[in-house]
Amino acid sequence: MAKLSASFEVPLRSFALELALEIEGTVALIGPSGAGKTSALSAIAGLTRPASGRIALDGEVWFDAADGVFRKPEERRVGLVFQEYALFPHMSVRQNVAFAGKSRVDEYLERFRISQLADAKPTELSGGERQRVALARALARDPGVLLLDEPLSALDANTKLTVRGELQELLREFGLPTLLVTHDFEDAASLADTLGVLVDGKLRQLGSAQQMVAQPADSFVASFTGANLMRGHARHRADGLTRVELEAGDIVYSTDDAAGLVDVVVYPWDVTVGRERHPDSAMNVIEGEIRSVVHVGNRARVRIGPVTAEVTEASLGRLDLVPGTRVVASFKATGTRLLPHA
Amino acid sequence: MHVRQTIVRGLLAVLFFLAIAVTLAFLVLPIVAIFVHVPLGRLLHELTNPVVTDALIVSLKTVAISQVAILLLGTPTAYFLASRRFRGRPLVVTLVELPIVLPPAVAGIGLIVAFGRFGLLGSTFDFLGINVSFNQAAVVLAISFVAGPFYVRQAIASFEAVDRNLIAASRTLGASAPRTFFKVTLPLARGGLTAGEAICLARGLGEFGATIMFAGSLQGVTQTLPLAVYTTFEAQNGLDVALAISALLVIVSLAILLALKGSGLWERSRPAVTAIAQPEPN
């Protein structure tokens, strides 16, 4: 498989975007809005010129500040799919796809199941259809690199899951070095092999989704992975555990070593919910009323005091967990990460 | 107390409807008067007067040439001003817009001292064998100077309204900057450009002040339709001819306005946001 090497610096309004990535397979940049994610795509596509650095696809140099090389966007063989898809409103679906390459238009219309929409204008399409047209158009250009800007954010929750599945399949099939940008950890984890967390233009952590869940570099990364974050004050104990007094008043224990102000990280799927206390190995117990229940597919996220637990819909029914119910949330000290507060 | 309130309200209502009646009558009456002052048959007959046909030919020719020049020179200028940000850009845009608010007589004087025989570029033009006073070239310059900014201003706005992501998309899809301009930017800005061009055309057709100062009013040479209205009106028994030309210009102007409205390019006089309270029916 081809490899895209990109390391560059782009001055933005209040900070500089500094990125160094080797892209084989699919890499996802995740981070809050305004972190510089889209600017990264712009720089690779040649829509903005970095202040320094080098961008190359295998031996093909697209940008080299030192040698003064700067290829225009049309000379870079990138397939860029815009967040709102940027379909040409004055052209039909067919004309949009044919804009980049006239040779295999029918093949792409067929492949993306948009043949029956060939004569429609983009405004007549649904969100999912627009995305298929945008992907078909980008790939009809026969790119060496695929860049996806928030590929799922313009879709409603129902369409999103279907499209995500299709996208996974597509990325596998085309096997292009792909950089996608998203603010959703779950989307990133399901589409990419490698994730990079970008905050204020800097990469906070680069690794697999599993690594980020297991060992988040900081509380920002932890919050992005969907973990519970609870601020508290940590103190060593003689038995080797760390005792943390949470701001809410509860006391929790962790096997991590820390002192002072910390963020306590617990993943919702590591939290057990019961009607009463059980004499088990979980050291951390938080009692309280259920504040909310949010359904996510076949699971539900239950909020108790400062912590959110993820349980199956089956457990939800069996234990009759509704808002207002007094319950006990428990999780193990070994599953409790402590991140020193910056 | 109650009686006084009723009287005040009644008085306000009367004033309100009076204001509307005065406004509408004031704007409509002069137009109506042009068509009813002499019988319609006379008006039609006067259109065959050589003064009218000469002026029509001069107007069509000079307006056509100036519109082509405005489109060819103004479009790239507008595109440049719309797509680039540079120091001094607001100043340049303001200078381009200035002729819109300038009194036409001032424009005429400006043209004389810039391009006239003894003007800034007069000797240069002389050297090149170009003479631009009191001929049709002068008419074209006057129309272009006064009407051109109406097009350029609208064209800048139209180019700025094109989604920059569409332009970026075109580039990443392999289209060069010129191809992107002709395939994406221009088609998407076309509606606004056409509207600007129509306003510019109407303004150019009616140009009077700058033309009479810079080009004079020679029948068959520089006498455009609006100049002919003035000249024939001044002449003995010329009112009928002046009215005939005026009627013609009203119809042409109305046609341009209706065409614009029909195409949806004319900015409608209602807010873009849907108001909670709809205008009352009848």
The pLDDT, as a whole number, for residue B276 is 59
Structural domain spans, chain A: 4-77+143-220, 228-340
Residue B274, pLDDT above cutoff 60 = no
The C-alpha atoms of residue A126 and residue B102 are separated, in whole angstroms, by 50
User: In which band, very low, low, confident or very high, does the pLDDT at B160 lie, cut at 50, 70 and 90?
Assistant: very high
Q: Do A78 and B163 touch (CB under 8 A)?
A: no
A299-313 burial code (b ≥16 CB/10 A, e <16): bbbbbbbbbbbbbee
Express as a percent the part of chain B with pLDDT over 90: 73
Could you check whether A4-77+143-220 and A228-340 share the same CATH topology?
no
Q: Do B171 and A72 touch (CB under 8 A)?
A: yes
Q: Do A88 and B169 touch (CB under 8 A)?
A: yes
Residues from A contacting B (CB-CB < 8 Å) are 42, 45-47, 72-74, 76, 78-80, 82, 84, 86, 88-90, 99-101, 137-138, 141
At B178-232, the pLDDT tens digits run: 999 999 999 999 989 999 999 999 999 999 999 999 999 999 999 999 999 999 9
Structural domain spans, chain B: 57-223
At A202-245, the pLDDT tens digits run: 999 999 887 887 788 888 888 788 788 888 899 998 888 999 99
The pLDDT, as a whole number, for residue B266 is 65
The pLDDT, as a whole number, for residue B272 is 43
Q: Do B168 and A73 touch (CB under 8 A)?
A: yes
Residues of chain B contacting residue A179, judged by C-beta atoms under 8 Å apart = none
Residues of chain B contacting residue A76, judged by C-beta atoms under 8 Å apart = 172
Q: Which residue has the higher pLDDT, A189 or B79?
A: B79
Residues 6+ apart with CB under 8 A from B48: none
Q: Do B173 and A100 touch (CB under 8 A)?
A: yes
Q: Which residue has the higher pLDDT, B164 or A295?
A: B164
Q: Do B170 and A99 touch (CB under 8 A)?
A: yes
Averaged pLDDT for residues B165-177: 95
Positions in chain A short of pLDDT 50: none
Backbone phi, psi, residue A181, to 5°: -120, 135
Residue B124, pLDDT above cutoff 90 = no
The pLDDT, as a whole number, for residue B273 is 46
The pLDDT, as a whole number, for residue B271 is 43
pTM: 0.79
The pLDDT, as a whole number, for residue A341 is 67
Question: In the block, which residue shows the tokens 């004055």?
Answer: A90
The answer to ipTM > 0.90 is: no
The pLDDT, as a whole number, for residue B278 is 53
The pLDDT, as a whole number, for residue A69 is 94
Averaged pLDDT for residues B165-169: 95
Residues of chain A contacting residue B167, judged by C-beta atoms under 8 Å apart = none
The domain defined by B57-223 folds into MetI-like fold (1.10.3720)
Neighbours of A251 (CB within 10 A): 13
The pLDDT, as a whole number, for residue B125 is 80
Nearest-CA distance B86 → chain A (Å) = 17
Residue B173: which of A89, A90, A141 has the nearest Cβ? A141
Is the CATH code 2.60.40.420 the one for domain A4-77+143-220?
no
The pLDDT, as a whole number, for residue A1 is 78
DSSP-derived letter for residue B239 is H
Nearest-CA distance B197 → chain A (Å) = 21
> Per-residue DSSP letters for B41-102?
HHHHHHTTSHHHHHHHHHHHHHHHHHHHHHHHHHHHHHHHHHH---TTHHHHHHHHHHHHHS
User: In which band, very low, low, confident or very high, does the pLDDT at B270 lie, cut at 50, 70 and 90?
Assistant: very low
Mean pLDDT of chain B, nearest integer: 89
- The amino acid that residue B82 corresponds to is A
In A, minimum Cα distance to B191 occurs at A90
Residue B172: which of A78, A89, A90 has the nearest Cβ? A78
At B15-48, the pLDDT tens digits run: 999 999 999 999 999 999 999 988 888 888 888 9
Residues of chain B contacting residue A82, judged by C-beta atoms under 8 Å apart = 165, 168-169
Tokens for B245?
Answer: 């030309």
The domain defined by A228-340 folds into OB fold (Dihydrolipoamide Acetyltransferase, E2P) (2.40.50)
Residues of chain B contacting residue A99, judged by C-beta atoms under 8 Å apart = 170, 173, 175, 183
Q: Do A89 and B188 touch (CB under 8 A)?
A: yes
